[in-house]
Amino acid sequence: MDLSTTAQNNDFSGMNLLKFTLFTLLLGLVSATFAAPSTIPSAPKLAATGYVLMDYQSGQILAEHNGKQRLEPASLTKMMTAYVIFHELKSGHISLSDRVLVSEKAWRMTGSRMFIEVGSEVSVEQLLKGMIIQSGNDASVALAEYVAGSEENFVPLMNTQAEQLKLEGSRFANSTGLSHPEHYTTAYDMALLAMAIIRDFPEYYSWYSEKSYKYNNIEQNNRNLLLTRDESVDGLKTGHTDAAGYCLVASAKRKDMRLISVIMGTKSEKARASESLKLINYGFRFFETHLLYSAAQQLKQMRIWKGERESLDLGLSEELYVTVPRGQYKNLSATTNIDRTIIAPVTLGQPFGQVNIRLGDEVLVERPLVALQSVAEGGLVQLVKDNVLLMFE
């Protein structure tokens, strides 16, 4: 089956010409006031230094302002601290039940705290909850020291993960988010980091939705006000310093669609919540996300020369989602650009072209088409046969 047929089965081609003509004539009898708008309104203008609205599944940016401008992250930093700790847990280097001896440095941390006592032993799980829910600077430092021996040694782990996640506008200098000239990020990078936390560590993500946490007989509320204002919001993290202003990374899921919003540099705790909600509501109201192709789904079958077999399946290495304005899904089209001559040997995942998803004249997504199986070089007879045939190809 060629890609155009696949696209047709996914309802990309729209109505045939006859049906469309009849429908248009019938529609002309109806008042124009009932017609659906062909465009969507612009994103709301927000009182923030920078912001981004991203669809979780497609990764498409639906709205942004100064999305890649370097800004101070404040306690949004603790998302990266948590990501590193989650990675250590997954690698088996540490466990949730490990007991961490609280240092004097961790105990003396200023700002938001979970109120751990110097010399006490606190579990990794308790410290993670204290950092995620209560935004504890003391918990962040205690975890950094436990994993790397010191907070200074922990910082390179943060920057290594930032590089691997392609957070190109970010650099970290501490585990807490306290102001430092070499500590910065972007709204776009924070959206990518939020996506990575949800995708890579779903077993821990639920902690970001907990509304309060009690430790040392002190109960503190999660500073993310959206957790109590909108039941679709289930994370992630707030931040605030005088230099950074009030920041919030939020994620919300309604039906099968998840959005991530990042607001940085607002004037108050209330403002970061209300501005975030404006952005989230805009995304859900005017956009929709669809799965177009599954990972390893055959999109093209091509002739392969000089191989142990004569056909090669091409497809995508990952699921392909696309986000479009509501009502525009039927207007999507898919085209391919594929290498004309494919010669064995071929390895699984080797690229041989790309698929383009368009909405009108706009290319929404470009993805490489890759080999869905390895094909070894054929025997002598096959090589001779294909050499002759290629002379006429």
Each residue of 6-31: pLDDT tens digit?
Answer: 333 333 333 333 333 333 333 343 33
Active site residue 95: no
The DSSP secondary-structure symbol of 346 reads B
The one catalytic residue among 135, 140, 170, 276: 135
Residue 391: what pLDDT? 83
pTM for this model (two decimals): 0.86
Q: Which of 113, 171, 173 is nearest to 142 (CA)?
A: 113
Residue carrying the six token digits 């981004």: 52
Residue 135 known to be catalytic: yes
Domain chopping of the chain, boundaries: 50-286, 294-391
**CA-based radius of gyration for the chain:** 26
Please identify which residue in the block is written with the tokens 């091509």. 302
Exposure of 283 in the CB half-sphere (CA atoms within 13 A)? 29
CATH for the 294-391 domain, from 1.10.620.20, 1.10.287.540, 2.70.240.10, 2.60.410.10: 2.60.410.10
CA distance 369 to 68: 29
**What's the N-to-C CA distance of the chain in angstroms?**
22
CB 117 within 8 A of CB 108: no
pLDDT at 5: 33
- Residue 162 confidence (pLDDT): 98
Q: Which pLDDT tens digits describe the chain residue by residue (393 residues)?
A: 234 433 333 333 333 333 333 333 333 433 333 333 347 899 999 999 999 999 999 999 999 999 999 999 999 999 999 999 999 999 999 999 999 999 999 999 999 999 999 999 999 999 999 999 999 999 999 999 999 999 999 999 999 999 999 999 999 999 999 999 999 999 999 999 999 999 999 999 999 999 999 998 999 999 999 999 999 999 999 999 999 999 999 999 999 999 999 999 999 999 999 999 999 999 999 999 999 999 999 999 999 988 999 999 999 999 999 999 999 999 999 999 998 899 999 999 999 999 999 999 899 999 999 999 999 998 888 877 868 887 887
Task: Say what the alpha-carbon torsion angle 305, 7, 53, 158 is, to the nearest 10 degrees.
Answer: -20
**Residue 35 pLDDT:** 33
50-286: CATH homologous superfamily? Answer: DD-peptidase/beta-lactamase superfamily (3.40.710.10)
Which of 92, 83, 317 minimizes the C-alpha distance to 200? 83
pLDDT of residue 143: 98
Examine the residue annotation and report whether 374 is marked as an active-site residue of this protein: no
Chain centroid to Cα 66, Å, comes to 18
Spatial strand order of the sheet with 311-315 comes to 332-338, 351-359, 362-371, 311-315, 300-305, 342-343
- β-strand pairing of 257-266 with 287-293: unpaired
- For the four alpha carbons of 294, 299, 305 and 310, in that order, the dihedral sign comes to positive
Q: 50-286 and 294-391 share one CATH topology?
A: no
pLDDT value of position 16 = 38
Per-residue pLDDT, 13: 38
> How buried is residue 50: exposed, middle or buried, by Cβ count under 10 Å (0-12/13-18/19+)?
buried
